[in-house]
């Protein structure tokens, strides 16, 4: 089989059940995600404005500026007809970063009106012809406005792929794995979902359990406790997996009076299997360490090993 004929998911970095990985992420995103107004629109102009504003500004601060900008210049025609000094002044007043982005956005609006007859191009390559619109922004607009983009690969997505699937720190590898993961024809929901994952669960300091990361079952970092990444050169909090899992045991037992081994195990690892590699023997090894430290104690009840904090 030639490389071009390999099935989606053939990349060695990905789990065998790629469909389960995809489904888990999309369901997690659709169940609960941060609400931003540009996620409720498919207007390419409104999405372009949000993308340009977000390049150097926290998203929480972009919302008010985005709404005020669109209230003042609701269409590309309105923006193209505006005095450029007014647009730059707005940008500066709202602390939106480099003023040349405002100039480029104004110029792009003029291009839409003059060169495209007021209609946004739909393809990433055509969108890249707009002033100040690079490949990333063009792809984002194509994805979120027209559901017609490629897999987004930004710093957050690289961090997610590096940690979850042990993808090497190589741009070509990130692009390949990201493309293999994205379901065909679903760039809008997929790119939103994977960026949300990087923004709320897999930040520089991860919140795997707190954000109920949907990829814990497959995640290399979650398994090993190594949460380094291309933009995270040092280890946060726990140096290795045993320390990390012992911490989870203590936190979990703090919420319960006592738990049997097979009740505790799945709360510590989503892939816990009583007779598996990460099963009772593995869990008892961790509990032995904690018992030696005087933190937990175990006993038998009705033939089962029961664990509680001391």
DSSP conformational letter for 296: E
Contact 18, 107 (CB under 8 A): no
CA 263 to chain centre: 30
DSSP conformational letter for 150: -
Catalytic-labelled residue, pool 16, 35, 51, 277: 51
Q: Which tokens sit at 227?
A: 């949460």
Active site residue 51: yes
Residue 161 contacts by C-beta under 8 Å, 6 or more apart in sequence? Answer: 13, 167, 174, 177, 178
Q: What is the tally of helices (H) and strands (E) in the chain? A: 15, 3
Beta bridge partners of 300: 305
Residue 297 backbone phi and psi in degrees, to 5: -140, 150
Residue 245 contacts by C-beta under 8 Å, 6 or more apart in sequence? Answer: 225, 268, 269, 286
> Which residue's entry shows tokens 């505006």?
82
How many Å apart are CA 157 and CA 187, to the nearest integer? 14
DSSP conformational letter for 306: E
Beta bridge partners of 309: 296
Torsion on CA atoms 235, 238, 242, 247, rounded to nearest 10: -160
Which residues are annotated as catalytic? Answer: 51
């Amino acid at each position: 089989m030639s490389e071009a004929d390999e099935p989606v998911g053939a990349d060695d970095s990905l789990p065998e059940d790629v469909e389960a990985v995809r489904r888990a992420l999309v369901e997690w995103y659709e169940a609960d995600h941060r609400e931003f107004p540009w996620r409720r629109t498919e207007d390419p102009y409104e999405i372009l404005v949000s993308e340009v504003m977000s390049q150097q500004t926290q998203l929480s601060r972009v919302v008010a500026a985005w709404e005020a900008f669109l209230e003042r210049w609701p269409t590309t025609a309105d923006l193209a007809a505006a005095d450029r000094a007014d647009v730059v002044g707005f940008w500066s007043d709202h602390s939106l970063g480099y003023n040349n982005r405002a100039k480029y956005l104004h110029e792009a609006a003029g291009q839409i009106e003059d060169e495209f007859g007021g209609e946004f191009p739909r393809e990433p390559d055509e969108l890249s012809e707009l002033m100040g619109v690079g490949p990333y922004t063009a792809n984002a607009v194509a994805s979120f406005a027209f559901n017609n983009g490629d897999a987004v690969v930004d710093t957050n997505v690289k961090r997610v792929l590096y940690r979850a699937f042990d993808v090497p720190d190589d741009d070509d590898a990130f692009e390949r794995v990201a493309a293999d993961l994205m379901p065909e024809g679903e760039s809008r929901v997929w790119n939103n979902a994977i960026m949300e994952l990087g923004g709320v669960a897999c930040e520089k300091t991860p919140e795997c359990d707190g954000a109920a990361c949907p990829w814990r079952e497959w995640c290399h970092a979650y398994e090993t406790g190594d949460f380094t990444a291309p933009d995270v050169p040092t280890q946060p909090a726990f140096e290795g997996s045993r320390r990390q899992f012992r911490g989870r045991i203590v936190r979990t037992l703090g919420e319960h009076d006592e738990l049997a081994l097979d009740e505790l195990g799945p709360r510590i690892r989503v892939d816990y299997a009583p007779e598996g590699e990460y099963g009772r023997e593995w869990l008892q090894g961790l509990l032995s360490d904690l018992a030696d430290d005087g933190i937990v104690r175990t006993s038998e009840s009705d033939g089962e090993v029961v664990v509680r904090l001391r």
